[in-house]
């Protein structure tokens, strides 16, 4: 059965009705359509492209297409063939595409899924390969744009003062992650005051102010302000990037729209208190009601941004960590909208106990630190922790990690393992001991090394972040030769060479890039003897017109996207000191 469905303006889509179309033509094919699914398709087009035939044609540039429904699971819920003329959508994407009656937590309401909106976004933008359509959707749905008509120099004059050479277009996959993440937020949070421009830094470049961070938002610097994303934003899985897009957008709500009362209530909920001398001016004594360590160790603003991303993308996580925070979202920012998860595939874990498996990780009961070594010696550092496992074996701590920071610079991570042979006696009965025995160099910066946070993970991957003021921590290094100066790169010594080598397996000639750079020791000698590990972040940039010399522009962009650069490669190499001048040397990465 074949029917022509609709101008997008129609509120319903009877299967046997033919409507003459001038700009948008969507035809339905096969037995998988009913009025509900057809309406779900129409509603998704209306949300993404516009609620009139003219606006849909203008915003999404839709071409005539024939849509069918498949009972099979499809990658991204949709397949496109014949240059976009044939579209197959998964039945799962059409489930709850239009609001249907439902009850959750005893509250009667309606349930709706955004999966079909994602399908329309993928088809309309060709999975991000039509950036002009993506930008049109970005502007219509979210009030933002990828274009900076005044130029980056003008936009950044109140922040980093840079020109457009430091920035590049988003890659297709990145555009899709942005559109999908922001569309998952409730409709009343699609647009936020001040967020006008969304920018992407050049591949392989750190942020000039914040180094190797993932993204930076400037919610209060300009009336029409902006966000910037680095390649670190996209080097992990899609969930992480979606999480980041929601996290950064939340900073604009916090900085420009939410009331002081709402912020104060959130601060109380997380146990946040002002404290001088901390990186963000805040500290909390609470250790478990957080969805990430980043949110728990920084500020109420960062805690809110992390919790918002979890509420939208992984509400079960937020609810498991803090039912009160979940309820706070429902009653305040979400205006009664409850988010829940319904995976396509799931399973239940049975329990022989009435208490089930839910619990929180162990608490730190006691910390003992012993440092052995003279002023000119490396230090043997013994750290012992007694942990209270709480609910027993199911929730016994399996891993303890402590990130140390020097007085001014430097870092060192302690990994504590359980001493299985230790049995607590008296007041220590039932506790478990975790031990780290490590060596810290005599060149580490002298003074007190702090541990702002201890991360405790149990057998079920529950995590507790314990703040420094909840336990006693005193680790002092009396290093006479200690320094905070790191080795420095010698300017204009970076050299890149391209050679060809025969692959041992395929016997084919393969290109080999070799990067070398000179360094100079400014403080402590390099650890590791004559050969010290080093890593570089290298991004390949297309040059020339292709042909025999390389890929054509279209070939390059089909695998790397626009912008001229691929995702950075992280490669390890070695640094070798000079035989004559022991303070200088060469680092090589291939």
324, 265 contact by CB (below 8 A): no
469 and 494 co-located in one domain: no
| 86 phi and psi angles, rounded to 5 deg | -125, 125
Look-up of token digits 């060149």: 443
Residue 12: band (very low, low, confident or very high) from pLDDT cuts 50, 70, 90: very low
Domain's final residue, options 431, 453, 477? 477
- Per the domain annotation, does 561 fall within a domain? yes
453 and 494 co-located in one domain: no
Does the pLDDT of residue 391 top 70, yes or no? no
Angle formed by the axes of helices 300-313 and 172-184, nearest 10°: 90
Does the pLDDT of residue 16 top 60, yes or no? no
459 and 534 co-located in one domain: no
- Per the domain annotation, does 198 fall within a domain? no
Bridge partners, 48 (sequence order): none
Does the pLDDT of residue 368 top 80, yes or no? yes
Domain's final residue, options 423, 455, 477? 477
* Count of other CB atoms within 10 angstroms of residue 115: 21
- Per the domain annotation, does 193 fall within a domain? no
2 and 88 co-located in one domain: yes
Domain with 472 in it: what CATH number? Answer: 2.60.40
**CB within 8 Å of 341: residues ≥ 6 apart:** 314, 315, 316
Most confident of 8-12, 109-113, 213-217, 472-476: 213-217
319 and 280 co-located in one domain: yes
CA 324 to mean position of chain CA atoms = 24
Which token pair is 269? 């909920």
35, 13 contact by CB (below 8 A): yes
Give the burial class of 355: count Cβ atoms within 10 A of its Cβ; 0-12 exposed, 13-18 middle, 19 or more buried. Answer: exposed
Residue 283: which domain range? 258-331
Give the count of domains, the chain: 4
- Per the domain annotation, does 321 fall within a domain? yes
Residue 225: band (very low, low, confident or very high) from pLDDT cuts 50, 70, 90: very high
367 and 467 co-located in one domain: yes
Bridge partners, 28 (sequence order): 3, 67
401 and 443 co-located in one domain: yes
Residue 200 is predicted with a pLDDT of 95
Residue 470 is predicted with a pLDDT of 56
Hey, is 479 helix, strand or coil? coil
Alpha helices in 188-292 (DSSP H): 238-256, 260-269
- Per the domain annotation, does 226 fall within a domain? no
Bridge partners, 466 (sequence order): 454
Residue 190's closest CA among 290, 117, 126? 117
Does the pLDDT of residue 403 top 70, yes or no? yes
- How much of the chain exceeds pLDDT 90, in percent? 38
Look-up of token digits 């009913």: 34
Residue 209: band (very low, low, confident or very high) from pLDDT cuts 50, 70, 90: very high
368 and 323 co-located in one domain: no
Residue 5 is predicted with a pLDDT of 43
Domain's final residue, options 426, 448, 477? 477
Least confident of 17-21, 145-149, 247-251, 466-470: 17-21
- Per the domain annotation, does 505 fall within a domain? yes
584 and 501 co-located in one domain: yes
- How much of the chain exceeds pLDDT 70, in percent? 83
Hey, is 314 helix, strand or coil? coil
Residue predicted with more confidence, 371 or 484: 371
The Cα–Cα gap between 460 and 427 comes to 27
Does the pLDDT of residue 17 top 50, yes or no? no
| 522 phi and psi angles, rounded to 5 deg | -110, -15
What's the pLDDT tens digit per position in 265-304? 999 999 999 987 666 788 888 878 888 888 888 899 999 9
- Per the domain annotation, does 152 fall within a domain? no
381 and 408 co-located in one domain: yes
Least confident of 98-107, 346-355, 366-375: 346-355
- Per the domain annotation, does 228 fall within a domain? no
Residue predicted with more confidence, 167 or 27: 167
Residue 3 is predicted with a pLDDT of 35
416 and 496 co-located in one domain: no
């Amino acid at each position: 059965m074949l029917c022509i469905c609709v101008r997008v303006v129609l509120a319903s889509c009877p299967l046997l009705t033919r409507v003459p179309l001038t700009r948008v033509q969507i035809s339905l094919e096969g037995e998988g359509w009913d009025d509900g699914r057809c309406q779900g398709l129409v509603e998704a087009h209306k949300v993404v492209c516009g609620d009139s035939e003219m606006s849909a044609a203008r915003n999404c540039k839709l071409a005539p297409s024939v849509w069918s429904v498949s009972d099979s699971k499809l990658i991204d819920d949709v397949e496109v063939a014949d240059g976009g003329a044939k579209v197959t959508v998964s039945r799962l994407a059409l489930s709850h595409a239009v609001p249907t009656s439902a009850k959750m937590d005893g509250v009667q309401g309606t349930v709706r899924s955004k999966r079909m909106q994602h399908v329309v976004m993928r088809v309309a933008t060709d999975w991000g390969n039509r950036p002009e359509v993506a930008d049109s959707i970005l502007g219509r749905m979210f009030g933002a744009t990828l274009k900076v008509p005044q130029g980056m120099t003008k936009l950044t004059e109140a922040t980093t003062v840079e020109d457009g050479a430091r920035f590049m277009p988003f890659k297709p996959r990145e555009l899709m992650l942005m559109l999908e993440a922001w569309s998952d937020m409730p409709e009343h949070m699609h647009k936020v005051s001040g967020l006008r421009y969304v920018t992407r830094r050049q591949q392989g470049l750190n942020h000039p102010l914040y180094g190797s961070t993932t993204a930076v938002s400037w919610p209060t610097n300009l009336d029409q302000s902006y966000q910037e994303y680095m390649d670190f934003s996209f080097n992990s899985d899609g969930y992480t990037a979606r999480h980041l897009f929601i996290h950064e957008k939340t900073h604009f709500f916090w900085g420009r729209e939410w009331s002081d009362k709402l912020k104060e209530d959130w601060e109380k909920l997380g146990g946040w208190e002002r404290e001088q001398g901390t990186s963000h001016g805040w500290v909390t004594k609470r250790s478990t009601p957080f969805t990430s360590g980043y949110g728990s160790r920084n500020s109420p603003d960062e805690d809110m941004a992390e919790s918002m991303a979890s509420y939208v993308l992984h509400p079960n996580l937020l609810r498991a960590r803090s039912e009160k925070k979940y309820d706070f979202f429902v009653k305040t920012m979400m205006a009664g909208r409850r988010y829940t998860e319904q995976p396509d595939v799931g399973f239940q874990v049975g329990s022989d106990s009435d208490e089930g498996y839910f619990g929180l990780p162990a608490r730190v009961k006691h910390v003992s630190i012993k440092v052995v070594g003279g002023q000119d010696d490396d230090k043997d550092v013994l750290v012992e922790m007694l942990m209270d496992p709480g609910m027993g074996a199911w929730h016994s701590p399996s891993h303890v990690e402590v990130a140390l920071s020097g007085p001014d610079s430097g870092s060192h991570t302690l990994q504590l393992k359980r001493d299985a042979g230790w049995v607590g006696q008296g007041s220590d009965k039932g506790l478990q001991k975790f031990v780290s025995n490590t060596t810290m160099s005599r060149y580490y910066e002298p003074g007190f090394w702090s541990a702002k946070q201890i991360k405790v993970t149990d057998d079920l991957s529950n995590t507790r972040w314990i703040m420094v003021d909840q336990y006693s921590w005193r680790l002092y290094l009396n290093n006479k030769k200690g320094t905070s100066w790191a080795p420095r790169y010698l300017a204009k010594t970076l050299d890149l060479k391209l050679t060809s080598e025969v692959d041992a397996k395929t016997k084919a000639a393969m290109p080999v890039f070799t990067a070398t750079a000179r360094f100079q020791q400014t403080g402590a000698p390099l650890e590791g003897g004559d050969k010290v590990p080093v890593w570089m972040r290298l991004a390949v940039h297309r040059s020339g017109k292709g042909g025999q010399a390389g890929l054509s522009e279209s070939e390059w962009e089909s695998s790397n996207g626009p912008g001229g650069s691929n995702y950075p490669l992280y490669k390890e190499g070695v640094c070798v000191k000079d035989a004559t001048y022991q303070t200088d040397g060469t680092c090589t990465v291939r």
